[in-house]
Amino acid sequence: MLFTIAITIPAVIGIFFSFTNSIGFGEWNFVGITNYVAMFGDPAIWQSYGFTMGFAAVTVILVNVLAFLLAVGLVARIRLKAQLRTIFVIPMVISGIVIAFVFNFLFSNAFPALGQSLNIPWLSESILANPSLAWVGIVIVTAWQAIPGTLLIYIAGLLAVPGDVYEAAELDGATKLQQMLQITLPLVAGYVVINVILGFKNFLNAYDIIVGLTDGGPGTSTRSIAMTIFTGFSGGDYAYQMANATFFFVIVVVISLLQLRLTQGKNQL
């Protein structure tokens, strides 16, 4: 009941208004699929889709690779691993907008000052001011916050792998690399699937970190789909951006179904 009231009913209302000329309040009229036709011819809309899809794909790969390697290290027989696990999950409990403002200061002031003092040209300018590199800063900050949650899932998966499997592999002469590729990865494949699906869904909805870092700039080079939709709501394009949001919902559902289809049989925990 709570899900229906908070999610389903507002979604249905939003889809309804996507077929009108409503500006969010006042009178409105039905306009059919006019908003959808206009959206498909809007280059700003497609630019936001291109940025968001590319950003999500790169960040998913980076987060999962780093989180998996960290998880392997944090379940190994090392000293202070409990304390290290605590340290590594700290970014997960910090607000995304706070993280974004901190890194904005680092990218815009601290790092350029360091680059100038060390006479390093590429470090002397903020990457957030470069339309070609601003997305890199967003990926770095997003990954920094997302890795802890992914890390915890991988740690749970690695701890579920029986230790005698590795002992048998060592008796057979398997190297550490062979154990990881032929034992660890197949046995935690279900956890990989979970992290990829959850990560991709979350990164497609990227908003707060992008707002705090670049506010969609320089220009509109880092404007995500979510930013485009919310900006339209406040700019009088309520129905138009509702059509965009409806189309985005369909895209996310299709991508999720494709991911589940491609990984069918590999997501059993």
At 105-147, the pLDDT tens digits run 999 999 899 888 988 888 888 899 888 889 999 999 999 999 9
**Across residues 56-77, what is the average pLDDT?**
90
Instruction: Pull the structure tokens for residue 245.
Output: 């949001």
Residue 9 — very low, low, confident or very high, per pLDDT cuts 50/70/90?
Answer: very high
Domains of the chain: which residue ranges? 42-235
**Can you tell me the distance from the alpha carbon of 201 to that of 55, in angstroms, rounded to the nearest whole number?**
12
The torsion angles phi and psi of 29, rounded to 5 degrees, stand at: -135, 155
Residue 264 — very low, low, confident or very high, per pLDDT cuts 50/70/90?
Answer: low
Residue 96 — very low, low, confident or very high, per pLDDT cuts 50/70/90?
Answer: confident
**Can you tell me the distance from the alpha carbon of 70 to that of 68, in angstroms, rounded to the nearest whole number?**
5
SS (H, E, C) 113-152: HHHHHCCCHHHCCCHHHCCCCHHHHHHHHHHHHHHHHHHH
R_g of the chain computed on alpha carbons: 22
pTM of the model: 0.87
**Can you tell me the distance from the alpha carbon of 96 to that of 208, in angstroms, rounded to the nearest whole number?**
6
Homologous superfamily of 42-235: MetI-like (1.10.3720.10)
222 touches 214 (CB < 8 A): yes
**Can you tell me the distance from the alpha carbon of 20 to that of 35, in angstroms, rounded to the nearest whole number?**
8
Q: Is the pLDDT of residue 269 over 50?
A: no
